[in-house]
Amino acid sequence: MIQKFVNAFMDRKPTITNRFKESHPDSYLEIVKAVIEILPEANGEQPDPERIHEIDDGDYQGTLLYIIGAKGYQPNTYWSVKVVYGSCSGCDTLQSISEYSNEPPTTEQADDYTKLALDIVTGIHSIE
């Protein structure tokens, strides 16, 4: 866990909650990107929301691994975060929150997406 990232997330929590009030995220990648977009520099480098690489070796369920590069030319700094996903709304957090709804997210759903985003930000680690 990178405390500076968690602190930044907590400072900007209303911003990310408001984003999730607009529409349901389509994927974990969308949530990871929303998190990365609000993070500050760490050790002089800032995570780049356009440099998120997803590794998914699962089938219906599994683990997603996100590798995030720093902004700038040929970054030397990278971060990672893992997300475990399931095959149905009973075993997958994102599907459970969305309830397969086409309606705008409820306040409770937006709050639950924000909690999921917090889990993601606390799972970010520097790759050394």
The Cα 12–Cα 89 span in angstroms is 28
Is the pLDDT reported for residue 25 higher than 90? yes
The Cα 67–Cα 51 span in angstroms is 8
What confidence tens digit (pLDDT) does each residue in 27-86 have?
999 999 999 999 987 778 899 999 999 999 988 899 999 999 999 999 999 999 999 999
Cα 17 vs. chain centroid, distance in angstroms? 13
Residues whose CB is less than 8 angstroms from the CB of residue 100 and which lie 6 or more positions away in sequence, other chains included: 89
Radius of gyration of the CA atoms of the chain, in A:
15
Q: What is the pLDDT of residue 19?
A: 96
DSSP per position, 55-118? EE--SSSEEEEEEEEESSSS---EEEEEEEE-SSTTT-HHHHHHTT--SPPPHHHHHHHHHHHH
More confident of the two residues 89 and 104: 104
Closest CA to 42 of 11, 65, 71: 71
